[in-house]
Chains A and B, each alone.
Chain A
Amino acid sequence: MKGLFIISGLGVLAMLAEIFKFKRALYPIVLIGILAALVANFTEFNNNMSIDQFNNMIRFDNVALAFSGVILLTAFFWFILANEYFNNETSLADHFSLVLFAITGGLMLTAYSNMTTLFLGIEILSIPLYVLAGSRKNDVRSNEAGFKYLIMGSFASAFLLFGIALIYGATGTFDIMLIRAKINTGTMPMFMYAGVVMMLVAMCFKVSAAPFHFWAPDVYEGSPTVITALMSTIVKTAAFAAFMRLFLIGFGSISDTWGMALAGIIALSLIISNVTAAAQTSVKRMLAYSSISHAAFMLMGILALNAQFSMRAILYYTLAYSIGSIASFTGLYIVSKKGDETYEAFNGLVKRNPMIALGMLISMLSLAGIPVTAGFFAKYFIFTTLIASPYKWLLIIAVLTSCVGAYYYFKIIIAMYFKKSDKHEPVEFEMSHALLLGILTVITIILGLMPDMILNMF
C-alpha cells in the first residue's frame, strides 16, 4: 500500500519538477523513491494491518506484496537501463510521471480485490503506455505502435467491461471475494459464464496470448527499446498478477468453463509465438514473440489451478522472466545504439566485449530455460504444477515449442560467439549498463541456485 502511494506520489512530484525546475535531480530522486517503495513494500510483508483497505477495494496481502516487490525491483533496474531515455529535454518530467503512473497501475493490479480497481488499474497501466509507446513523436513507427496499442487496448477493455457487467448482473457485486462466494454457493445464470469468458479474453489480450497477441510484436517493435523493455516486464508481471488473482481466486471454482478455452489459448500461443519467433530477423521482434511464449508458460501455471503453488510458480516465473528480459534488452540496447536491431548487431560480440556477451549468454540461457539459471526453475515450477492437472498434454506442446525456443535464443548466442563481425572496435557502453547487466546476471544465477528464497515468500 505504501509502495503504491510512494510511486504515485513520485509521479506527481515528477510533474512538479517541470514547474519548480528540479528536473536534473529527478532521476536520483526517482531511483531513491523506488528503493524506498521497495523497502516500504517489504515492511508490510507478513503484516496483517495491510489487509482489507478501503472497503476491500484493494488488498495488499502477501501475494500482492510479493508481486509488487517484483514490479518495483524490475522498475528499479528498468530505470537504470532507461537513463538515456530521460535525457530528452522536452518531455523529461512527462516521461517520468507517465512511467511512474504506469507502475502505479501495475501495483494496483497486484492487489485489487474489486472489479473497479481491476479496471482502473488496467487503464492506469495502459493509458500512459499508449503514450509512451508513441513517445518518439516524429517516428511514424512509434506513432503506429502507440496507435495500434491504443485501439486494440481499448477494444479489449470494452470486452473486459462487458464481462464485468455481465458478472455484476449475475452476482450483484463487484467485489471479487463476494463474487467468489456467490459462485460457490449458488447456481449462476449462463450469462455470467459468458462474462467470465469475456474477461478471460480481455486478460489474455493484456498478457498477449494468441489469438489476441497480434498487437504485441508490432507495438514492441515500434516502441522505443526501453519502453518495450518496460512493456515486456513490468506490464506483463502486473497483468499476470491480475490474471492470477481473477482466475485463481475469483473464478477458480468454475474452471471447467474457462479451463479448456485457456488450454487452447496456451497451445495456440506456444505454437504461434515460438514458430514465428524462429523466423524473425529483428531481435526486438523476436523478444516480443518470446514474451508471448513466456506468457503462455505462465498461463499454464494459472491453468494448473494448484492455487498455492501456482502463485509461487507464477511469481517466480515473472521474476525470472523480468530479470532475464531486462538483461536481454540491456544487451540489445547496448549493441543496437547504431539502430541495427537485427541478429547481425550481435555478431562477434564476444570479441568486441566478452563480458557483455557473457551477460547476454546467461540471460539467453535463462530465457531458454537451461539450468542452473532462474529461467530453468521457472519452467520447472510450471511443469510441476501442470503435471498434476488434467492438461498434461500441454506439456508435450510446451516441450516441443521449447526446442523451437532454444533455436531463436541460440541464434543470438551463435551470433555472439560464432559469427564474425565486420566491426572490430570495442562496443561503446555506459558503465551503469554494464553494471546492470552484471547484477542481473548474478541475480539470474543466484535465483537459479537458490529458488527457495522466492518460493518461501508466502
Chain B
Amino acid sequence: MIKLIGLVPLFPLIGFLINSFFGKKMSKGLSGTIACASVLASFIVSVLIFMEVNASQQKSTVIEIFSWINSDTLKIPFSFLVDPLSCLFLMNITGIGFLIHVYSTSYMKDDEGFSRFFTYLNLFVFFMLLLVLGSNYLIMFVGWEGVGLCSYLLIGFWFKNDAYNRAANKAFIMNRIGDLGFLLGIIMIFINFGSISFGEVFNKASSVPTSTITTIALLLLVGAMGKSAQLPLYTWLPDAMAGPTPVSALIHAATMVTAGIYMIVRSNIFYSISDAASECVAVVGAVTALFAALIGLLQTDIKKILAYSTVSQLGLMFLALGVGAYSSAVFHVTTHAFFKALLFLGAGSVIHAMGGEQDIRKMGGLKKALPITFITMLLGTLAISGVPPFAGFFSKDEILAHTYEHSQLLWVVGSIASLCTAFYMFRLMFLTFWGSFRGTHEQQHHLHESPKAMTIPLIVLAALSVFGGLLGLPEFWGAKNWMSENLDSVIIRKNPTILSHETEWTLMAIAVLVALSTIYFAYQMFIKYKVLPADKVADMKPFQRVIYNKFYVDEIYDAIIRKPLDAVSEVLSKLVDKQMIDAAVNGVGDLTLWKASIFRKLQTGHIGFYIMTMVVGVIAIMFFSLMK
C-alpha cells in the first residue's frame, strides 16, 4: 500500500485536470462530485497507508517517483516520504479537505465560478499533499509555493473586486518573502550537507557547526513565519479572508498555514541543536500569539476575528515548537484544524444565512434561526477557549505546560493570549447568536439554516472538536499520549518532562479557571450589559482605536516598505535610468555630434589655415619624435 502513496496526490490532481479542462461543460453537480470524490479517494488511501505505517516496524519509507533535478552532487528526486508525521498530516488534509469540499458544493452552489472553485481547491489539496509528502526540502518547497499559488487564486477568487485582488497579491508576495528565506535555507542546507533529502541531512546534522545550523534554522523560520502568518509577516492572513469562506477554513485555518509548523517539526533536529534558533521560534510564537489575540479583541468582522484567532493559535504552536514540544505542536495543529475549520464553516453558514453580511454588529440572536450552526459553533468555541474536556483544552494545556517548563515569562504571555482568545471568541458568539437581531429587515426575513451538505461537515467537525483531545491525553493523568508516541520516530531529540505532577495539575487548574472566568466576564459584558462595539472609530478610546486599527501594522508596512519601494522605483525609473544612465549613453552620442560641429569649423576652407596646421603638425611630430 505504501508503494501506492503516489495515488494520494494523484487523485486530487486528476480531479483538478478534469475540472480545469471540462469543468465548464459539466454540470455543477458532476463537477463538485468529482472534486469531492478525488479528495475522498485520497483520504481513504491515506487512512490505509496510515494504518500500514502504524502496524509496520519500519516507520519511514521513501518512494521515488522520478528524478527531477540533477546537477552534479545536487540530486533532487521527485520522491515521497511516508512516515507517521506525514501520514498524520495526510489524513488531516484529506479528511478535513473532504469535509470542506462537501460543504463547498452547497456553499458555492450559486457562484458562476463553481467549477473553477473546485479546480483551485483540488489543486490546493494536491500541492498541500506534495508539501507534506516530499522527501526532501525542495519537494516540500514545491508544495509550499504551490499552496501559496492556490491561496492567491482563491483569495482573489472573485477577481472583479480589486480589494480582493490586492489581498491576493499581498498574500502571495508576503509568502514569497518567507519563501525567500526558506529557499536560501534549502540552499544553505545543500551547500553544507551536500544533500537536501531529509534522511541524509538529519543524519549529518550533528557533524555540522552549530552556527551554520542556527543560520539554516533561522532562514527556515523566516519561511515558516511567512506561511504560518507569524509576526512580522502575518498581515496577509486577515486580508486573505477575502476568499470564499470554505477557503478560509481549509487553507487559512486548517491546513496551509500549518505548513510552517510542519516544516519546523520536520526539521526539529536543527532546532534541537540550535538553542538560539528555538529561542527565536518561541519568542516569535509568543509575541504573535499575544499580539494577534489583542487585535482580535476589537474586530467586528466575523471572519477577521477568526483570522486573528488563527494567527494567535499559530503563534501558540510556534511557542510550542520553540520550547521543544514538537508533538504538542502537532497535536494542537490537529485539534486546531478541527475546531477552527468548524468555526470558519460555521461562520460561513452564518454569512450564508445573512446573505453575505460579515459584520457582527449587524447580527445577533441567530441561535434560533441557525440551531445546528449555533450548537456546533458553540462546541468549537468551547474547544478553542480551552474548556475541558474539549479538544483545545488538551492541546493548549500541553503547550502551556511545556512552556512553563521552559520559561515562565513565555508561559504568562501564552496564558494571556489564551485568555484573550476565550474572551473574543465568546464575544463573537454572544454578539452573533444572542440578543436581538440588528440587521436589516430583509436579512431577517431571509435567515435560514443551511442545507445538509453544509451542516453535516459542521457536525462531523464538532464531534472531532469535542473528542479530538483523546489523541493526546496528558501523560501525568496516566493516560497514553498517542500523539507523542506516534511521532516518536520523527522527533529526533526529545526533552524529557521535568515538571512535577503537582505543578502540572496546578497549571491545568489555572488555565481552566482563567478560561471560565473570562467567559463569565464576556457573558456579563455582552449579555448582561449588552455592550456593543462602537460603530465609529471616533467613539473609541485611544487604545481601542489602536487595537481596532490592528496596531496600524498595515499602515506602517505601507509607509516603510511599499511606499518607499514604489518611490525608489519611480526614482530609478525616471531619474536614474532615464536621466542618468541612458542620458549618459545618449550623451556620448550627443557629445560626438557636438564635437563634430566643432571639428567641422576647423575645416575653414582657407588654404593658409590648412598649411599652418600642417606645419604645426610637422613641428609637433618632429618635436616629439626627435627631441627626446
Contact = CB atoms under 8 A, between A and B. Distances in A.
A407 B607 CA distance: 29
A278 interface: yes
A406 to B, nearest CB: 12
A201 B252 CA distance: 85
Contact of A201 (B595, B609, B618, B626): B618
Interface string B531-564: 0000000000000000000000000000000000
- Of residues B592, B597, B613, B621, which shows the largest number of chain A Cβ atoms within 10 Å of its Cβ? B621
A278 B610 CA distance: 21
Interface stretch (A16-24, A49-57, A257-265): A257-265
Interface in A292-342: none
A41 to B, nearest CB: 35
Interface stretch (A27-35, A113-121, A178-186, A211-219): A211-219
Contacts of B625: 193, 197, 257-258, 260-261
B605 A218 contact: yes
Interface string A263-281: 0110000001001111110
A345 interface: no
Interface stretch (A58-66, A91-99, A151-159, A370-378): A151-159
B614 A205 contact: yes
A299 B589 CA distance: 26
Contacts of A258: 625
A211 B600 contact: no
Contacts of A214: 602-603, 609-610, 613-614
B591 to A, nearest CB: 10
A152 B614 contact: yes
Interface string B453-480: 0000000000000000000000000000
B30 interface: no
A148 B607 contact: yes
Nearest to A404: B592
A197 B622 contact: yes
Nearest to B595: A275
Contacts of B603: 214, 217-218, 276
A25 interface: no
Contacts of B55: none
Nearest to B599: A276
A356 interface: no
Contacts of A215: 610
A270 to B, nearest CB: 12
B592 A275 contact: yes
A194 B622 contact: yes
Interface in B558-609: 589, 592-593, 595-597, 599-600, 602-603, 605, 607, 609
Nearest to A201: B618
Contacts of B600: 276, 279-280
Nearest to A211: B617
B498 interface: no
A193 B600 CA distance: 34
Interface in A139-198: 148, 151-152, 155-156, 159, 190, 193-194, 197-198
A200 interface: yes
Given A148-B607, A194-B622, A212 B617 contact: yes
Nearest to A276: B599
Interface string B33-67: 00000000000000000000000000000000000
A201 B607 contact: no
A201 B621 contact: yes
Given A152-B611, A197-B626, A261-B624, A278 B618 contact: no
Closest 5 CB pairs of A and B: A279-B596, A214-B610, A211-B617, A276-B599, A261-B625
Interface of B: 589, 592-593, 595-597, 599-600, 602-603, 605, 607, 609-611, 613-614, 616-618, 621-622, 624-626
Given A258-B625, A278-B596, A280-B600, 4 more contacts: A211-B617, A214-B603, A261-B621, A278-B592
26 contacts: A148-B610, A152-B614, A190-B626, A193-B625, A194-B626, A197-B618, A198-B622, A200-B621, A201-B614, A201-B617, A205-B614, A212-B617, A214-B602, A214-B610, A215-B610, A217-B603, A218-B605, A264-B621, A264-B624, A272-B599, A276-B600, A276-B602, A279-B593, A279-B597, A407-B589, A407-B592
